[in-house]
Amino acid sequence: MKVRSRRKLVKPISWSALIVFLFLIPLFITSPYQLHILIMAGIAIILASSVRLVVTSGLLSLAHGGMMAVGAYTSALLVMKLGLSSWAALVLAGVAAGVIALLVGYPFVRIKGVYFALVTVFLAEVIRLIIEQWRSLTGGSMGIINIPRPDPIVIPGLLNMDFASKVDFYYFMLVLVLLILSILYAIERSRTSLTWFSIAQADFLAESVGVNTARFQVLAFTIGCFFAGMAGAFYSQYIAAITPGAFGFFWSVYIVIYMIVGGMKSFAGPIIGALILTFIPESARVLKEFQPYVFAGALMLIIFFLPEGVVSLPQRLKKLVRERFSHA
């Protein structure tokens, strides 16, 4: 009994230690560029984890780049045109992306496999073209500049964040990532998630026992796009300048690659994939120019040698060690 109780304590203690470590990182990493990489990795984690939510329902979405654009422009316009609080704009940006996903999802969700993926590619491209052509509102291809920083957070005697430094944005991103991952994890542990997995495995069988597969898949697509919109809103507030080209087709492809390289069957997979594929091109500047090729190479290696993603590597190594010792 004591051994079991100790094992139960190991996981929460480990997670608590990791979270404390993440909050202490700015004490050791003071370079603005390195903090920028960590912030961009946080955005990648949100996007990869949210697209995995969509994939668990049996859908493949390549619309996350477009939904990120919806969130970024919605947030910027609400703050700059209507004078709304940046915090309210952050949530409403996610709502805007979710509503578009809901409207598009219902007519097209019954299209299966690669055909639904093609619809999402078309959706992302339509969003980009609307942003480019609606010059009076979005600034067209020139985009929007001088986007205000997030509203300050002031707690007298305790906290004063005015978002004038990378450190403030790092903490903003860290809290946002932890909050969104907590929500996604809670969803993953719910009965709804089990229904999504059953639909992905055998949608006709799920329908035969009374599951409304279209409704559940639209729900997954909407939630995933909601978080993509929030990631776009944060991006606009952080970078302070956005253009349609910043949310092109490659963004959507990269997000899916993060998920596959890390491992789509595990909750931690997209997180690991996003971290690896954000850090590798940035750590070797020469690779940055060849980022599409680096991503393609990583994807091919994973498909051939680790079909379940990098997250499965420890188990594969344990298996190899056991086999070696058993034959010795």
Q: pLDDT tens digits for 2-56?
A: 555 565 666 778 888 889 999 999 999 889 999 999 999 999 999 999 999 999 9
Q: What confidence score (pLDDT) does residue 75 get?
A: 96
Supply the pLDDT for residue 319. 75
Where does the pLDDT of residue 210 fall: very low under 50, low under 70, confident under 90, or very high at 90 and above? Answer: confident
Q: Look at residue 229 in the predicted model and tell me its pLDDT.
A: 96
pLDDT (mean) for 264-293: 80
Query: What would the pLDDT profile of 155-181 be if each residue is shown by its tens digit?
Result: 777 777 888 889 999 999 999 999 999
Instruction: Using alpha carbons, select from 73, 114, 117, 66 the residue that is nearest to residue 93.
Output: 73
- According to the model, what pLDDT value does residue 179 have? 96
Cα 202 to Cα 81, 111, 114, 197, distances in angstroms: 47, 15, 16, 9
Answer CATH for 33-327 from 1.10.3470, 1.10.10, 1.10.600, 1.20.58: 1.10.3470
pLDDT, tens digit, for every residue of 47-83?
999 999 999 998 989 999 999 999 999 999 999 999 9
- Band of pLDDT at residue 120, cut at 50, 70 and 90: very high
Would the pLDDT of 285 be above 80? no
Cα separation of 30 and 269, whole Å? 28
Could you tell me the residue ranges of all domains in the chain?
33-327
Better-scored residue on pLDDT, 3 or 273:
273
Q: Where are the alpha helices (DSSP H) in the chain?
A: 2-28, 32-55, 64-80, 86-108, 114-133, 135-138, 166-188, 191-201, 203-208, 213-239, 249-262, 269-283, 285-288, 291-305, 313-327
